A and B are shown apart, each in its own frame.
Chain A
Amino acid sequence: MEEGLGFAVKYPFSASAKAALSGTELNERIVDMAIERLKKALKGDKSVKMLLHDSDRKEEIASYAAARMILGHLRNNFLTNSFAVNESKKVHDHLDKEDVKTVDAVAAEFGIVSGSAGGKMDIDLPTYLKFSTRNPHYRLINRRLICGRVEITYDEKKRLVEEAVRKHIEIIPLVKDPPDIIKSAGKKLVEELPKTESRIIANVKEGDHPPCVMRLLEEMKKHQNLPHQARVFLSSYLIAAGMNDDEITGLFSMLPDFSEKVTRYQVGHIRRKEYNVASCATVMTYGLCCAVCKIGSPLNWHSLDDYRKKAIREGTA
């Protein structure tokens, strides 16, 4: 198992990374590296540098901490979530190349401790719920669950760690009065940010769409990452609601891992293949249902009267 600075560079949120940083002073070079790190996150660039000297490694770790300071100062969801997604994917790439001991050590940083029963790997249910993604494959109903232990594979364990890293990074403490170099770095970064606020989303009023769709739009507005099924569901729904590809792509540009090329292709594909909008039962299996509408299909929302829509939204239907 890799230890020391090599480990800390790859896993800059770890306790050993924090220990390695003690005594390191924030300087311009570190802040520049932090800006670079954040810009790479916006592009979805997961590449890592080869670092030979300990001083370079320490700076690299410090750039992660400085990037978090900038994010804590800016409170920009889009930037924070892009950073969280990119960093967590980087961690997954590292884990794929690690030995079991190292994977266990990283997992343990988040309290993910697996056991084994009958030759199969398992983890405790609350931890599983906390770090599993909203994807049908990970839904509890599709898992083997015995006495509070959920069976997982080694690859799934690494995916749980990725999700744990993402969630950890997304929660950034507010940095109220940062040093001036952090303030100016934040200013510089914001100027370079793509303008992502979609006019369509700004014009959506409460009650325009069923609660499940509204919730996804709301999450998008906060630049939260959406699982694949949620994106497919939303695209097919918005197509059925009469939106064109440009408008839908514009909406998806708010996601932290947005790629215009991929989005255009997939939205076009859904339109060409005339994907049906998922029924309420399917939305439920995706884990995206968040109200009791009893309408069978999200599209039936539009035939409800305002009184009923309000009652459903308020949970009094």
Chain B
Amino acid sequence: MGANEVDFARKVFASYYGKAEFRIPKIEQREFGIGNQKKIDARHLNFGNAQEFRNYLCNNTPMFVSHSTSYYDFPGASPMQKKGWRGADLVFDLDIHAEGKYGAYAHLGRVREDVIRLVNEFILGDFGVKKEHVVVAFSGNRGYHVHVRDPAYLALGGDERRELVDYIMGQGLNYTEFFSLEGRPAKLIGPKPSEGGYRGRLARGTIRLLEESPGTLSRLFSKEKERNFFISGINEGNWSRTSLKSNDIVERLKPVAANLPVNSVDTDVGVTQDLSKLIRVPNSIHGDTGLIARIIDDIAKFNPWIDARIPGGAPIKVRFIEDVPAIEMDEAVGPFKKDDELELPQYQALFFMLKGSAIISDAKD
């Protein structure tokens, strides 16, 4: 990216930061890191209050700004041991890695589905965290960050956090152990939909599959009578109300079980486990995309291309310096060929500039 583009981006960022609303609890206890060339070029910064932080962003305007998930007595001290660790938010990083510079964006919807499941089923459901302690933010690029600020979880160490990630990812999940043969004649006793954790999830997932796609588990269940009889059994924890053999039923549940964990968390276990990690400041701008790491109130309705763009700004004429595939933003954008020159809305122009695919057109030669 050339100097013109950097100057332009900084001006847009600075003007946003002048009015941006940050909601950073205990800002004075957090360590900050900023980056221009990389995500983090310098760390161990700290700010006494939100105004100091805003002034810093308006005057210095880094491309990336992150804060610690941890709280410290002396957040500006270094090395880490001197900071005096006080606890840390529990943070989950869900993102997608795909081929190419633009490959991930088509899959953002899938990550969003995982975020919804992570929050509703695991964090609020299994872990029993209250909704007011959970903040979901767009990462500004290829995923989402979930911040859990429940005081009961602040003191957990790295190993204990890893245990939670392993649970969410289903590490070591052996669903066959949920079943046993009991009584005479032997009945297959298994989980009920009303149960918590993976047991209940398996039962509910099976019923959902039977209702939405009846023939998948077995052709037998295409018949409504057979299907309803089987489902009535599952509701009571009796999985034998079918002519299928017990071990055959358990075997056929494999694909249901495989879909129970949240799979996209596994890309960044380190974010949750590593207590010295810095995470993008919610509502700050991601310097690779120009999109805001927006705090999300209703994730089901969130569309990054609309809700996370920097508001305002006049359209900008850009020239592409490499080929870019078509991307489904809030509208279909592209494809563009090298040397294409055209006017784009500010957020799109910024996005392609920061991606290193376009330059400001007037800057030519």
Chain A residues close to B by CB (< 8 Å): 124-126, 129-130, 134, 136, 139-149, 284-285, 287, 290, 292, 315
Contact = CB atoms under 8 A, between A and B. Distances in A.
Kindly list the 4 A-B residue pairs having the minimum CB-CB distance in the complex, ordered from nearest: A148-B128, A146-B196, A285-B172, A147-B128
A149 B195 CA distance: 13
B170 A147 contact: no
Contacts of A141: 166-167, 170-173, 198
A146 B194 CA distance: 10
A57 B196 CA distance: 48
Nearest to B124: A147
A178 B340 CA distance: 77
A253 B198 CA distance: 40
Contact of A284 (B166, B195, B199): B166
Contacts of B127: 125, 145, 148
Contacts of B251: none
A145 B164 contact: no
Contacts of A136: 172
B163 interface: yes
B170 to A, nearest CB: 7
Given A144-B197, A149-B128, A292 B166 contact: no
Dominant SS at the B interface? helix
B152 interface: yes
A136 B177 CA distance: 13
Given A140-B166, A144-B195, A284-B171, 5 more contacts: A129-B163, A139-B163, A141-B166, A141-B170, A142-B172
B160 A139 contact: no
Interface in B65-103: none
B134 to A, nearest CB: 13
Contacts of A287: 159, 162-163, 166
Nearest to B199: A144
A147 B171 CA distance: 20
B163 A140 contact: yes
Contacts of A134: 159
Interface in B272-288: none
Nearest to A146: B196
Interface of B: 125-129, 152-153, 155-157, 159-160, 162-164, 166-167, 170-173, 177, 195-199, 269-270
A148 B129 contact: yes
Contacts of A284: 166, 171-172
Contacts of A315: 270
Contacts of B269: 292
Given A284-B166, A285-B171, A145 B196 contact: yes
Nearest to B191: A144
Nearest to B274: A315
B197 A129 contact: no
B288 to A, nearest CB: 17
Contacts of B159: 134, 287
Contacts of A145: 126-127, 167, 196-197
A18 B64 CA distance: 51
Contacts of B171: 141, 284-285
B162 to A, nearest CB: 8
Nearest to A140: B167
Contacts of A140: 163-164, 166-167
A234 to B, nearest CB: 17
Contact of B155 (A126, A139, A142, A147): A126
Given A145-B126, A146-B126, A284-B172, A124 B152 contact: yes
Contacts of A285: 171-172
Contact of B156 (A130, A139, A147, A292): A130
Nearest to B126: A145
Contacts of B157: 130
A134 B163 CA distance: 10
A310 B159 CA distance: 22
Contacts of B172: 136, 139, 141-142, 284-285
B198 to A, nearest CB: 7
A140 B199 CA distance: 13
Contacts of B156: 126, 129-130
A147 B126 contact: yes
A235 B176 CA distance: 29
30 contacts: A124-B128, A126-B152, A126-B153, A126-B160, A129-B156, A129-B164, A130-B155, A136-B172, A139-B172, A140-B164, A141-B166, A141-B171, A141-B172, A141-B198, A142-B172, A142-B177, A143-B197, A144-B196, A145-B126, A146-B195, A146-B197, A147-B126, A147-B128, A149-B128, A284-B171, A284-B172, A285-B171, A287-B162, A287-B166, A315-B270
Given A140-B163, A287-B163, A147 B173 contact: no
Given A126-B153, A145-B196, A292-B269, A139 B128 contact: no
A287 B164 CA distance: 11
A141 B173 CA distance: 6
B167 A147 contact: no
B85 to A, nearest CB: 14
Residue among B155, B171, B177, B195 facing the most chain A CB atoms (10 A cut-off): B171
Contacts of B197: 143-146
A164 to B, nearest CB: 13
B196 A129 contact: no
Nearest to A290: B162
Nearest to A139: B172
A125 B156 CA distance: 11
Contacts of B162: 287, 290
Contacts of B164: 129, 140
Contacts of B173: 141
Given A126-B152, A129-B156, A147 B166 contact: no
B125 A147 contact: yes
